[in-house]
A and B are shown apart, each in its own frame.
Chain A
Amino acid sequence: MGYVLTTFFIMGFGYFVAESALRQPLPAPRLAWLGFILGIVGTVMVVATVLTGHASVMFTFYPPLTASPIFYLGLVLVVVGSWIWCVLMLVAMMRWKRANPGQPVPLAMYATAANAVLWLWTTIGVAVELLFVVIPAAFGWTQTVDVGLTRTLFSWTLHAIVYFWLIPAYIAFYTIAPQAAGGRLFSDLMARASFILFLLCGLPVGLHHLFMDPEHSTGFKSIQMILTVLVAVPTLLTVFTVTASMETAGRLRGGKGLFGWIGALPWERPMVLATGLSFFMLWFGGFGGLINMSYGMNAMVHNTSWVSAHFHMIFGGSVVIMYFAIAYHIWPSLAGRAAPSVALQRIQLWLWAVGMMVMSMPWHWLGLNGQVRRVAQFDYADPSMSWWTPWMAVSLAGGFVLVVSAALFIWNLVSFHVERSAGVYPAPVKYATALHPDQPVPAALNGFALWNVFVLILMAAAYSYPIAQFFILNPPQAVVHRVDR
């Protein structure tokens, strides 16, 4: 779910931004379709092996558990499809720059290209793990696996992948929500700086997922912990810039006083409503994340439901609700008609936020009390677990609300095409302009060359020895455990 929904959404949204923000046709649309088809074929391979019980290794693989090779090859196809997307995004941006020399790349496109660069860096870890260790084992060419090495390579991908999923939501915060609220973007430069910080800080921090692992020393764990703390900065900058942009909108609409602008915002518009709900969930999800990354405190919550609660809140809540809002925002221009019912869109967003809160709040509590993750069923007869039952019932109720909301989302999109009563052809999507549009953009914040050098240096510092140690120390290997036969 995490891989498939996100990758397809991000590719689609990226193509949309490249055409609508740059006002130029997409380079090589055939290649884009090829990437899409690779993604579909890969997804079918993955789903088929999982459903037939040949790939019960979950999406972090856990080598030496080894599934059918078709499962891994399917994942590779999805990733290759997304690489095509990355290249097309960068080519689109460069073409535009050549056609508009000296002009700043529109923010939405700059951020999309930043995400493409981030994703290319991110996938290196998992690609190396799959191609050099896991797939050879799956085909039976190798009989043993260096488990520490595979965990370390996967951690390279594990944090940054979340930022790959998150950045589209931030693009909406910066470039769509202020426009939808009737305001302006408070600061274009701050927005660019935030996206660059995501690129720099999102990558060299993956070891924070391995704090409780025996194969790394406290030294490198703490280096990456320090970098992880910095990851909070771009999000906190975003909170400021987006809130300030919304305040501008509220005041332009006549809101007065310290908080009067909040009431004056057009909450009936799905994009504005989703941004508000997303920010609300961001507080809880962000707080949970701060605990997780806290090195010592991590022992309290590692691999408990607390962590599941954290990422459901951040990703399932804050991010996916923005995916919904983006879909509602761009669908009219794709379908060529206005939304049949904005009220149903609002209900769907509310159901999603409420369902997510109800589902994940009990997990936070149970996680602190030792409820572990990735468990199919608990022994509720055990006295130390029996008191979990009512909390799990609450959480399950939240899950049902989410299912209803997801079904309603699909209906809301389908209804664009089946309800003939739909309104007139709406205006094309517009992106928010900055409060001070003439502010000059430094060349560094209009490209990525400099930042790629920085990423390289940071990754070398954070990961060179942690990976090299497996070749220097040559730890004993583990025998492959097949789950597909």
Chain B
Amino acid sequence: MAIDPLSNARSERRWAFAMVGAAMMMLFAIVWASLSPHMNPPSNIENVDPNTLHIAGEFTEDNLGTQVDAKGRVTTRIVTSQFSFAPECVVVPQDMQVTFRFVSPDVIHGLLVVGTNINTMVVPGYVSQVHTMFDKPGDMLMPCHEFCGLGHSQMVAHVRVVPIADFKPDENGRVACAEH
């Protein structure tokens, strides 16, 4: 078998260029996705003190769950702690922008909702914020996805998506699962 060092070096160089090119194309696709349809991961660096969040401010018990503010914006606030979500079920409207805000008073948790862009870590000391829109009504599973202790497997919540017609806030702008 004849081995020609020059042609070897040439094919090697060609392959190297092709591979760097392929990597650049992937990079381009990812950057485009993050700039154009704003597919960015949750990254608002916003602090909250894990030791006092239940006493005062945005995440006290009666502020949790879904709330519509004066401007009609829908925000759902959830506290994740060992080993449950508070509240364990939230109601959100279909086809409307919803902002989820999660905090943890104890250890690291995380969560996701299948088929949506909701996927975030919940790190004590920070507010994790995700904007999303649901296009189908129904009950969706929202399990804790980060090891948070021995009860981790039992830590599950549900998101109930209802058509806008059935999404009826009370006089305080609040909507909760029990009413349905």
Write the residues of chain A forming the contact surface with B, with a CB cutoff of 8 angstroms.
56-58, 62, 64-65, 146-148, 151, 186-187, 190, 210-218, 221-222, 225-226, 229-230, 232-233, 236-237, 240-241, 244, 248, 251-252, 290, 294-300, 302-304, 369-370, 372-379, 382, 384-385, 435-436, 439, 469, 473, 475-479, 481, 483
Q: When the two chains form the complex, which single residue of A251, A290, A295 contacts B41, counting CB atoms closer than 8 Å?
A: A295
A300-B147 contact given A62-B108, A375-B152, A476-B50, CB 8 Å threshold: no
Give per-residue flags for B1-32: 1 if the beta carbon is below 8 A from chain A beta carbons, else 0: 10101001101100110011011101100110
**Inter-chain contact B45/A214, CB cutoff 8 Å:** yes
Q: Is B93 an interface residue (CB 8 A)?
A: no
Q: How far is the CB of B6 from chain A (nearest CB, A)?
A: 10
Interchain CB contact under 8 A, B30 and A294: yes
Q: Is the CB of A299 within 8 A of B125?
A: no
Contact residues in A for B31 (Cβ distance below 8 Å): 222
Is the Cβ of A62 less than 8 Å from the Cβ of B107?
yes
Provide the residues of chain B in CB contact with A58, threshold 8 Å. 147
Pair A483/B149 contact, Cβ less than 8 Å: yes
B165 CB, nearest partner CB in chain A, Å: 25
Return the chain A residue nearest B127 by Cβ.
Answer: A214
User: Is the C-beta of B43 less than 8 angstroms from some C-beta in chain A?
Assistant: yes
Chain A residues with Cβ below 8 Å from B41 are: 211-212, 218, 221, 295-296, 298-299
> Is there an interface contact between A476 and B49, defined as CB atoms closer than 8 Å?
yes
Q: What's the Cα separation between A232 and B18 when bound, in Å?
A: 12
Partner pick for A187 among B12, B107, B147, CB 8 A cutoff: B12
B43 close to A216 (CB less than 8 A)? yes
Contact assessment for B30 and A473 in the assembled complex, using a CB-CB cutoff below 8 Å: no
B146 within 8 A of A: yes
Q: Is B68 an interface residue (CB 8 A)?
A: no
Chain B residues with CB below 8 A from A294, complex form: 26, 30, 33
Nearest 4 Cβ contacts at the A-B interface: A296-B39, A370-B114, A478-B124, A372-B145
Interface membership of B176, Cβ < 8 A = no
- Contact A214:B46 (CB < 8 A) given known A226-B27, A236-B19, A290-B26: yes
Q: How far is it, in angstroms, between the C-alpha of A186 and the C-alpha of B117 when the chains are bound?
A: 45
Tell me how far the C-beta of B159 lies from the nearest C-beta in chain A, rounded to whole angstroms: 11
A214 touching B43, Cβ below 8 Å:
yes
Chain A residues within an 8 Å CB radius of B149: 56, 65, 481, 483
15 A-B pairs with CB atoms under 8 Å apart are A62-B108, A65-B148, A229-B26, A233-B23, A236-B19, A241-B12, A295-B33, A296-B41, A297-B30, A299-B119, A303-B119, A372-B143, A382-B156, A384-B140, A483-B150
Q: Which residue on chain B has the smallest CB distance to residue A213?
A: B121
- Kindly state the separation between the CA atoms of A56 and B12 in the bound complex, as whole angstroms: 49
B34 interface hit (Cβ, 8 Å): yes
Chain B residue contacts of A379, Cβ below 8 A: 156
Q: Which residue of B lies closest to A193 (CB)?
A: B16
Is B47 in contact with A435, judged by CB distance below 8 angstroms?
no
The interface of chain B, by Cβ under 8 A from chain A, is 1, 3, 5, 8-9, 11-12, 15-16, 19-20, 22-24, 26-27, 30-31, 33-34, 39-51, 82, 106-108, 110, 112-115, 117-129, 139-141, 143-150, 152-153, 156
Bound: A300/B50 CA distance, A: 28
* Candidates A146, A187, A483; contact of B125 at CB < 8 Å: A146
Residues of A within 8 A of B114 (CB): 369-370
Given A147-B124, A237-B19, A300:B145 Cβ within 8 A: no
Complex Cα distance A217/B34, Å? 13
Least CB distance from B100 to A in Å reads 12
C-alpha gap A96/B26 in the complex (Å): 42
- Residues in chain A near residue B46, CB distance under 8 A: 214
Chain B residues near A217: list those with CB within 8 A.
43, 45
Do B23 and A218 touch (CB < 8 A)? no
Give the CA-CA distance A232 to B22 in the complex, in Å: 10
**Distance in angstroms between the alpha carbons of A453 and B124 in the assembled complex:** 36
Given A218-B41, A229-B23, are A212 and B123 also a contact pair (CB < 8 Å)? no
**Contact A372:B144 (CB < 8 A) given known A213-B121, A296-B40:** yes
Decide if B47 touches A212 in the complex (CB within 8 Å): no
The answer for the CA separation of A74 and B46 in the assembled complex, in Å, is 36
Partner of A65, one of B8, B34, B39, B107: B107
Contacts of B44 in A (CB 8 A): 214
Beyond A151-B108, A290-B26, A479-B51, 10 additional pairs, beta carbon < 8 A: A65-B108, A214-B42, A215-B126, A216-B43, A232-B19, A237-B15, A294-B30, A297-B33, A473-B45, A476-B49
Q: Which of B9, B22, B115, B125 contacts A475 (CB 8 A)?
A: B125
Please, how many angstroms separate the alpha-carbon atoms of A62 and B106 in the complex?
Answer: 12
Contacts of B8 in A (CB 8 A): 186-187, 244, 435-436
| A62-B146, A299-B41, A304-B112 given; A233·B19 CB < 8 A | yes
Bound state CA distance, A218 and B129, in angstroms? 13
- Most chain B CB neighbours (cut-off 10 Å) among A230, A372, A436: A372
